[in-house]
Structure 1
Amino acid sequence: MKKLYCAVLCFIFLTTLLLSSCKNGDDNKSGRDNSGATVSGDGNYIANIPEKDYGGKSFVFLTCGPNQEHESEIVYNDYTDGGDEKMAKVVNDAISTRNHSVEELLNIEIKEQYVFDTKRKNGEFANKIRLDISAGSGDYHVLTPCIYDGAMLAAEGLLFDLNSDIRYLDMSQPWWDQTFNEELTINDKLYFTVGDIGTTNKSATAALFYNKNLVEKLALENPYDLVREHKWTIDKVTQMAKSISSDDNQDGKIDYNDSMGWSGQLDDMWALFYGSGEKIASIGSDGYPMLTMYNERSTDVIDAMLKLVQDDDHYISANDYWGAEGVAWPSLLTIKPFLQGKCLFFSGNISTTNDFADMDDDFGIVPVPLYDENQEDYHSLINPWVSSCFAVPKNVAVESDKEFVGIVLEAMAAAGKNMIQPAFYEVALKYQNTRDDDSIEMLDRIFASRGCDIGIIFAWGKLDVELQALASAAPGTFTSKYESLKDIAQNQLEETVEFFKENE
């Protein structure tokens, strides 16, 4: 399977159908896929943009991150200065090939300005954008804030509507994430998005990993089959997690030194709630957000979730070990039993597979479980702090040429689907001992259903914090907790809605 991936990837790199189709206008050998997107004769996606020559003009992304040693999802990462090579070579090369293709097509130069921002959420990056726009400055065309900041900047009126303000930008195309767009579109306006143009939105997507050897040893049902049969539910996973628990060091408790069914963290509360089909807030029939956190079904969902995360004999949370053994991130401790073959399930983001290099047992990847078998679809949450999004600021560089921005973004995103997505799949599966079509199918399912809860992103009434806090609350307190915060949340939501209505 690995050889097949590499062969496909090399073939994509050596073709420039995206370029030739745009330049030659030859539609005789092209067609459309099920989404209506234009594809070449051998399946590569083609951006619907005009032929342009920008004479070497720079196209600049303003990006940010909490690490001083930046790893870019936009431009090639050059490690010749001796820095640690963090990004997988296959993805880094795909980014380089994508950029060279688009640069040649449009005669531009793709550049990046990086802002080191330890706070990341409403920190130096957001302040720079505010100051640049108010001062009528800014020599960049596209922002890649964390999703939290995307929402905040939109609510301050600092971003263009991607659906209507930027010519040639087509948010209905498959290289833009359609579930995300649907959940974040307010009265037909979309101010930030994710898609195949970048990689962090994929890396930050929630998933569940399982130990294949333990599934066989414990004679458990095959998770892949359960997913396909629509039987992969919270109750089923909880039942399976109860099949293993051992106080290996005999200290009277189950922790990361022992054996258990599930190793996770507080983010599981968000991922499981979203995975169940419930949301803190959703877009209503009038096109504006509304609170949807509390209802009869969501109460049942919370009860099912708490049966899992409050089972101290079978579930451990990384949030219980801040400061333990002097590690910066407690998940470095709680991942150990999974790597050692002593834990059945480990929850995290897709990027977690990068930590499986030392794992002897084979692992599988599956979506976050359904609430019950009556649920129509699986849902995979994108972490809004970890993931970047893409937005177009109302600054001087963009105001002078919106068409330029739309054409370049469409070209880069379409080429990203052709080149970067296959490379990303290769990386996500690289530490599996046995590559199989099951894993690819599961990644397809996860990425096809990923999105965000607008209530988490805007954090009205801090209901997002309260959802996580329920993990340690007494069973049956969901109703009283929600009642104590709903009026505050509703007032804050209405203020946000009023702003968007006034600025239509």
Structure 2
Amino acid sequence: MKKRVTALLLSALLAALPLVSCGSTDSGDEVTTDSQTGEATTTSEVPAETSGVPDDLDLEGETINIWYTTESVSVAETYVDIAGELTGDIMDDTIYNLNRSVEDKLNCTLNFYNSGCLTSETGAEVPKLILAGDTSYDVYHVVQWNAAKLAAEGYYLNVYDAPYLSLDKPWWDAEYMQEMTVGENTIYALVGDYAIDRTRCLDCVYYNKDMYEDFYRDRDGLYTEVLEGNWTWELLRQISSDVYSDLNNDGVATRDDRLGYCINDYNNLDALFYGTGARVTERDEEGMPTLVLNNERVANIIEDVYELCFNTEGVFFSGPEYEDDVANRTLFENGNSMFLFGFFYTIEAMREMKSDYGIIPFPKYDSDQTEYVSVVHDIMRMMVLPSNCTKVDSVCAVLEELSFQGYNELLPAYYDIVLKGKYVRDDVSAHMIDIIRDSCSTDIAYVYGDAFNGMGYITRYLIQAKSSNFASEYAKREAAAITQSNDFIEQFLSNE
């Protein structure tokens, strides 16, 4: 049974949140409150959103072949199988039924091919198939960090004006897709609610409520700090110092001690950096991305990331995520770490944790930062049509219907029933999830990585080298970053 937080805290949170979150489903009724009676009344009805696929579209039994993978190089990173299966699990069943519903509506067959390709290799494997002229697969689910770049190289179709796709509708993430593109009329990678990676891969922080209560008496006090805007890097460091205990008396913070937090040298650093609201690029008057990273605030942020990693009491700095993330999570599950830096999908491995935990966003850089910011982990899968696709209209109809029904069926199943209902342990964590999802952000330099000479990952490179010398690292990368990004932009635009 879920533990309930104080009514006062919950009321304060509800007052601070939008009436309808990204994860909710709208009934279509507009509700107002009578000023005299306080009773809610329905004043009008808003027409329900409809798919861009006509009800009478018939694909006449056509087979759509879908290439994907669930094989991660890291045991800490997991993926939902988009083929689905009737197992009694709500996600498996919902996905399976969703696929069958689309098949029935469009009179087609969806043939899912789980390639077994490591997610780290989709950017290498997919081009081989396309270059070989292989038309066996009509749509690919590829990983952002290694396969998004293929758009500029001409491997994917531009689906901006493709039939049936209603990319301005809520089942597509228009803002995210726009950040991934260059030019006014180009969309090469689709991000929608059929592949729910966009939500599962959002970063978050877990905190041990039992430990927090031991030190600060109020187990829900950190929620209050978040709501009041006080959850900052400074507070993170203070709490880490407060709870730290050198249990083995060796004078060094290790996993054998009680820690404030463990931090890896990859995705945790991305979450901290982008959580400050810092930008690597901004768009110029023509909508082209330009580097804006070289400023005093970013230099200060890098200095402070270094402090969080190496000069904060109670911190254990670990190595690559694929080696150490499970160990960091296990330490948290065993009650020996106050915080765990992770993602929404991390919670799926913590069902047996005995200590109570809460979910909060990554901290703000300082009190001057107005909003919490979350970033989507770069392992997110995206949907792309190969440049040699022979069934463009049919594939687009299928993807539109999958994402439309995913928005209405799969997203609520995951977001409201599984994530908020099955995994979270109090009411406020459920609403913290709304705050995190509504604050989603990314940067084109983070999406395309190499095209900007790694500027989107500069925090990683510096901390991995145990350096905080931002000015030197930026100067070393700047000329190549400008050249490579200009070439990337030109290449991208030439494919329009």
- The answer to whether TM tops 0.5 is yes
Q: 2:363 aligns with which of 365, 369, 376?
A: 369
- Shift of the alpha carbon at 1:465? 4.8
| CA apart distance, 1:486 | 0.9
SS at match of 2:472: helix
Which letter maps to 1:277? G
Q: Which amino acid aligns with 1:207?
A: C
Q: 1:123-142 counterparts in 2 under 5 A?
A: 124-132=124-132, 135=133, 137-142=134-139
CA distances 1:308-348 after superposition (whole Å, capped 9, x unpaired): 2223532223317x8xxxxx732222222211222111001
Answer yes or no: is the 8 Å Cα contact 1:263–1:317 preserved in 2: yes
Q: Does the C-alpha gap of structure 1 residues 55 and 72 become closer, same or farther in structure 2, counting only changes over 3 Å?
A: farther
Q: CA–CA distance in 1 between the matches of 2:287 and 2:101? A: 38
Aligned to 1:435: 426
Judging changes above 3 Å, is the alpha-carbon distance between structure 1 residues 494 and 130 closer, same or farther for their aligned structure 2 residues? same
Give 1:57 deviation, angstroms: 1.7
Is residue 309 of structure 1 aligned with residue 309 of structure 2? yes
Q: Name the TM-score, length of structure 1 as normaliser.
A: 0.81
Instruction: Tell me which residue corresponds to 2:18.
Output: none
1:397 match = 390
Letter in 2 for 1:89: D
Secondary structure of residue in 1 paired with 2:341: strand
Q: Supply the AA of the counterpart residue of 2:287.
A: G
Q: Deviations over 1:436-486 (max 9, x none)?
A: 1x2222222222222433212322223345421322556651111111111
**Residue pair 2:122, 2:147 contacting (<8 A) in 1 also:** no
Measure, in 2, the Cα distance between the counterparts of 1:422 and 1:263: 32
Asked if structure 1 preserves the Cα contact closer than 8 Å seen for 2:237 and 2:313, the reply is no
Q: Distance in 2 between matches of 1:435 and 1:456?
A: 33
Alpha-carbon distance in 2 for matches of 1:163, 1:227: 39
Partner of 1:492: 484
Query: Residues 6-155 of structure 1: matches in 2 within 5 Å?
Result: 46-51=50-55, 52-66=57-71, 73-77=81-85, 89-118=89-118, 120-121=120-121, 124-132=124-132, 135=133, 137-155=134-152
1:162 and 1:449 mapped to 2: Cα distance?
A: 27
Query: Equivalent residues in 2 for 1:405-444 (5 A)?
Result: 405-425=395-415, 426-429=417-420, 432=423, 434-436=425-427, 438-444=428-434
Which digits, 9 at most, give the CA deviation of each residue in 1:177-218, with x for residues without a partner?
A: 244223213112221132211133322221111111122221
Match of 1:369, SS state, is: coil
Conserved? CA contact 2:79–2:197, under 8 Å: no
Amino acid at match of 2:94: A
- Match for 1:383 among 361, 377, 383? 377
* Contact preservation (8 Å) 2:359, 2:433: yes
Mapped pair 1:239 → 2:244: no
Flag structure 2 segments of 5+ consecutive residues without an equivalent: 3-26, 32-43
Cα shift at 1:154: 0.2
Q: Structure 1: where are the runs of 5+ without partners?
A: 3-28, 34-39, 80-87, 323-327
Do structure 1's residue 463 and structure 2's residue 471 form an aligned pair? no
Q: SS in structure 1 opposite 2:323? A: coil
Deviation at 1:112, TM superposition (A): 1.1
1:167 pairs, out of 163, 170, 180, with: 163
Change (3 A) 1:423 1:130: same
The 3-state SS of whatever aligns with 2:140 is strand
Give the fraction of aligned pairs with identical amino acids, expressed as a percent: 26
Q: Secondary structure at the match of 1:207?
A: strand
Letter in 1 for 2:394: F
Task: Kindly state the Cα deviation for residue 358 of structure 1 after the two structures are TM-superposed.
Answer: 2.6
Alpha-carbon distance in 1 for matches of 2:285, 2:30:
31
Partner AA of 1:185 in structure 2: T
1:292-323 deviation per Cα after TM superposition (whole angstroms, max 9, x unaligned): 22212212222332222223532223317x8x
* Within-5 A mapping of 1:277-292: 277-292=277-292
State the TM-score, normalized to the length of structure 2. 0.82
For 1:492, give the aligned amino acid: Q
Aligned runs of 1:251-266 on 2, under 5 Å?
251-266=250-265
1:271 aligns with 2:264: no
CA shift for structure 1 position 433: 7.0
State which drifts further: 347-356 or 286-295: 286-295
Question: Counterpart of 1:256 in structure 2: which amino acid?
Answer: R
Equivalent of residue 349 in structure 2, options 352, 355, 360: 355
- The letter of the residue matching 2:137 is Y
User: Which segment is superposed worse, 195-204 or 70-79?
Assistant: 70-79
Structure 1: how far apart are the matches of 2:198 and 2:66? 16
Tell me the SS of whatever aligns to 1:145.
strand
CA distance in 1, matches of 2:224, 2:175: 25
State the SS of the aligned residue for 1:152: helix
Going from structure 1 to structure 2, the CA distance change for 1:309 and 1:284 (only over 3 Å counts) comes to farther
Q: Check 1:434–1:270 CA distance in 2 against 1; reply closer, same or farther (3 A cut).
A: closer
After TM superposition, which residue ranges in structure 1, 4 or more long, deviate above 6 angstroms?
40-44, 68-71
- State the partner residue of 2:41: none
- Residue aligning to 1:502: 494
Write the letter of the residue equivalent to 1:177. D
CA contact (8 A) 1:45 1:415 kept: no
Inter-partner Cα distance in structure 1 for 2:30 and 2:147: 32
Q: Distance in 1 between matches of 2:383 and 2:30?
A: 26
Distance 1:244 1:331 in 2: 21
Shift in CA distance, 287/497, structure 1 to aligned 2, threshold 3 Å: same
Question: RMSD in angstroms over aligned alpha carbons?
Answer: 3.0
